[in-house]
Amino acid sequence: MSTVALMWEARAADGRGNELLEWARAQVLARDPVRREVFRAPQDRVLVITWWEAAEGVAADLPELPEPAADLITRAVHRWRFESVEVDGG
């Protein structure tokens, strides 16, 4: 079993950072991840990381956040998948 992190990042249209943040927080996935974190950054960027246990690693069929409405973002959403190889600290 592997731990997989799905990262979803979007940049809001001018002045709509809080709206994008609330949109991302309100999204319901088809099933619950082991963990979910939501971040914000300068330039009205929003990052969501979900952690999953998956036997297939990064190739697993996992639910992902959708694309927001085109007028809410400045570009297409960026997505990455990572497989955990080491955990350090507590």
Tell me the per-residue pLDDT of 2-30, one tens digit each, with 9 for 90 and over.
Answer: 999 999 999 999 999 999 999 999 999 99
In a domain, 88, yes or no: no
The pLDDT of 44-57, averaged and rounded, is 97
- CATH number where 26 lies: 3.30.70.100
In a domain, 89, yes or no: no
- Split into its structural domains, the chain has a count of 1
pTM over 0.85, yes/no: yes
Which of 66, 74, 72 minimizes the C-alpha distance to 19?
72
In a domain, 48, yes or no: yes
Name the region of 12 (left: φ>0; alpha: ψ -120 to 50; beta: rest): beta
In a domain, 64, yes or no: no
For 89, counting Cβ atoms within 10 Å of its Cβ (0-12 exposed, 13-18 middle, 19+ buried), the class is: exposed
Tell me the per-residue pLDDT of 66-88, one tens digit each, with 9 for 90 and over.
Answer: 999 999 999 999 999 999 999 98
By residue range, what is the domain housing residue 25? Answer: 2-58+69-83
In a domain, 17, yes or no: yes
In the predicted structure, residue 90 carries a pLDDT above the cut 80: no
